[in-house]
Structure 1
Amino acid sequence: MNRIFTILLATLIALAPAFAEKGNRQRKGNKSGACKADIERLCGAQKGDKKALRACMKANADQLSPECKAKKEKFIAKRAEHKERYEKVMKTCEKDVQQFCKAEEERKQHSMRCLFKNRDKLGAECQAALPQKRVRKAK
């Protein structure tokens, strides 16, 4: 019994890096899957330089495939939705931010983290405005 368990454990440990790599490939693939061919075709020379790649994709926006254009529009809409939600929370929680997050207020990106950290101390309106779980910024 111990021998079977040891063999099973050794097999799982040996396969762990393969599963981790597969997960990384899937996440990266999802990030640019619809636009991967467009990136290669239009902006292959800028690979590795995110700023140049972004500028190239913007300059060639009219040449993007329909799938890539759809993904781009979906991303823009989602980002706008997140920004709108963030601004609503910040407006609703203005007094709570002043009270509990003074240091973070100077660095606005950390105010939301502070609100979640102090959730149980916040006013009822602010608590209601906060999402149930923290959504991380899309990069």
Structure 2
Amino acid sequence: MQRNTKIILSVIVGVFLLMMLALGGVVWYVARNAEGWVDRGEKLMAEGREAGESMDSVGCVDRAVADYRKDRGTFSALGRRFWLNGCLDTAERNIAICPTIEAEGTIGQVREIMGASSQFCEKHGLRADQNCQQLAEEVIDFCFKPGQG
């Protein structure tokens, strides 16, 4: 085997081993912390359900967005989504938060729903915030959940 071929193979094997080591570290970290994350999610949903008993769905969304504005970021958005899920579950239903979908056919409806997510973030002054999509998706899920009008 030529010297250049050996060097290239060594580099490829080294990169592969580093990737496997990194993946192992991620798996170890997730396995070690998963239970706490699940407990935190359940706690946030319970808090949301409790808050939802005294407000309507518009109030749930307004509070979730306000709380998210105070602490932005991926994990904050995820936490606010869990809270919003619980809140919307017990809140008085108000369809003012739901977009109207007028397109016929699956592709048109999907396009309108994606547009509704963007409009949600823009309406709340979070247009450039990618994590806002977490909250928008929870609202869309709530509005188009089977069995909901």
TM category (shorter chain) comes to 0.3 to 0.5
Question: How does the TM-score come out when normalised to structure 2?
Answer: 0.36
Greater relative contact order structure (CA < 8 Å, 6+ sep): 2
Higher helix share: 1
